Amino acid sequence: MAARKKVGILTGGGDCPGLNAVIRAVAKKLIIEKNMDVVGIKDGYDGLVRNEYTKLSYRDVSGILTLGGTILGTSNIANPYRYAINKGGRLQLKDVSKSVVRQIKKMRLAGLVCIGGDGTLAIANRMFKDGVPIVGVPKTIDNDIMGTDITFGFNSAVTIATEGIDRVHTTAQAHHRIMIVELMGRTAGWIALHAGVAGGGDIILLPEIPYLPAAIAAEVKKRHTRGSRFSIIVVAEGAKPRGGNVVVQRMVKESTIQARLGGVGLMLGEQLEKMTGLETRTVVMGHLQRGGSPTAFDRVLATELGTRAADMVEREEFGQMVGVQRGQLVSVALEDVACGSKTVPLDHPLLQSARSIGTCFGDEG
C-alpha cells in the first residue's frame, strides 16, 4: 500500500479574519476527499526554521470556521532569506533558506499551502524557485495583492471600520467637531475608500491621491457655512500630503516590510485645528480591524479559496496562487503576484461615484 501523502499549511504575515476558515477548508478537503495527511506549520515561516509543526486531524479543524486569528500562529517578521538572529545583543540577518528547504524535503511534504499577503507570497515564490512545491492563498485586510480582485479578510475589516465611522458620527454631531478616523491599508487605499463611502465620510484621503491640507480645510469651512457643523474625515494610514512623505510610526529592521505606518490622522488633526479654528479629534482604528470573527462573506470566500487550493495541491499546480477574477476562481503565477502591490486606480468606479455625490478627496481646492 502506498504511503499517504503529507501536505503542510502555514499562515504568514499579520493576522486576519478568515485564516482559520481557510485552514479548515484546506485540511478537511485533503483529509476527506484526497486521503492525505495534513501538517500545520507553527508561526508561519518561523516554524519551518525552528522545525515546529503538528499533525492536524479532522477534529482539530472542526469548529474553527467562526474564530478570528489563526490556530497555527503567525509571524510578520520571519523570513528564511533574511532571518533575524540575535548574537551578543546584536541583530544579524542570515539566509537560512537552504536549511529550510532541506527540512521540508525531510518532512516529505507533497505540497505546502502558504496563506498570506504580498510579503508571505513573495517569499513563497522564492521558495518555489528553490524547489519547494507551493500553492498560495491570498490573505490580507488591505486587499492589495496582485492577481486577485479580492482577498479574504478585506470585507471583515471594512465592516469593522464602517461600524467605527458610524459610531464617530454621533459624537461629531453632538460636539460639532471635525472627527478623523485613521484606517489601515499601508500604501493602498481600499479599506479607506470602501469604509469611507459606506460610513458617509465627508472627506476621504487615500495613498493614491496626495492631499492638500488647504483643500481639506476649505472643504470643512464650506460645510460649516452651509450649516453642517461637523465633518467626518476618513484617512488611510499611508495617505500623504502633496510633495510630502508618509508618517512612519517606527521601523522594524528584521521585518520584510520594515516601515510601520501610523500617525497621519493625529498630524492632520493638529493642522486642521490651526487652519479652521474648529475642535478636532482623531480615532485610530488600528488592530481592531484585524480582530474578531470573519463576516459571512469572508467565511464563504475563505472556504472557496481553501478548497480550490487543496485541488491545486492534488493536481500539482505548484508555483501558483488561487485568486478571484471577475467572480471566478483562477490560478495566478506566484511570480506575477510577487511583482508589486495592487493599489486603487484613479478611474475606479467607486472613486468616481463618491466624487459625484460630493465626497472630497483632498486634492481640489
Can you give the pTM of this predicted structure? 0.93
Same domain, 172 and 99: no
> Does any domain span residue 110?
yes
Tally of domains in the chain: 2
Q: Residue 365: is its pLDDT beyond 70?
A: no
Same domain, 97 and 196: no
Same domain, 192 and 52: no
Same domain, 15 and 56: yes
Same domain, 286 and 296: no
**Where do runs of H (alpha helix) occur along 226-365?**
264-276, 296-314, 334-337, 349-356
Sign, CA dihedral 33-36-38-44, equals negative
> Does any domain span residue 285?
yes
> Does any domain span residue 361?
no
Report the distance separating Cα 322 and Cα 329, nearest Å: 7
Higher local confidence (pLDDT), 121 or 249: 121
**CATH code for position 20:** 3.40.50.450
Which strand (E) or helix (H) includes residue 164?
helix 154-175
CA atoms within 13 A on the CB side of 302: 35
Q: Looking at the annotation, which residues are catalytic? A: 142
Same domain, 147 and 205: no
Same domain, 137 and 260: no
Average pLDDT over residues 344-350: 96
Same domain, 243 and 332: no
pLDDT at 254: 60
pLDDT band at 304 (very low <50, low <70, confident <90, very high): very high
Same domain, 65 and 26: yes
> Does any domain span residue 75?
yes
Percentage of residues in the chain having pLDDT higher than 90: 78
3-state secondary structure of 38: strand
The C-alpha cell that represents 364 in the structure block: 481640489
> Does any domain span residue 229?
yes
Same domain, 120 and 187: no
> Does any domain span residue 364?
no
6 with 37: CB under 8 angstroms? Answer: yes
Residue in 127, 78, 65 with CA at minimum distance from that of residue 303: 65
Same domain, 107 and 63: yes
Q: Residue 2: is its pLDDT beyond 70?
A: no
pLDDT band at 286 (very low <50, low <70, confident <90, very high): confident
Which single residue is written with the C-alpha cell 481553501? 306
Q: Residue 83: is its pLDDT beyond 80?
A: yes
pLDDT tens digits, one per residue of 134-147: 999 999 999 999 99
> Does any domain span residue 362?
no
E strand map for 118-217: 134-138, 178-183, 203-205
> Does any domain span residue 365?
no
**CATH code for position 350:** 3.40.50.460
3-state secondary structure of 171: helix
Domain that holds residue 284: 157-290+345-356
Average pLDDT over residues 20-28: 98
Percentage of residues in the chain having pLDDT higher than 70: 96
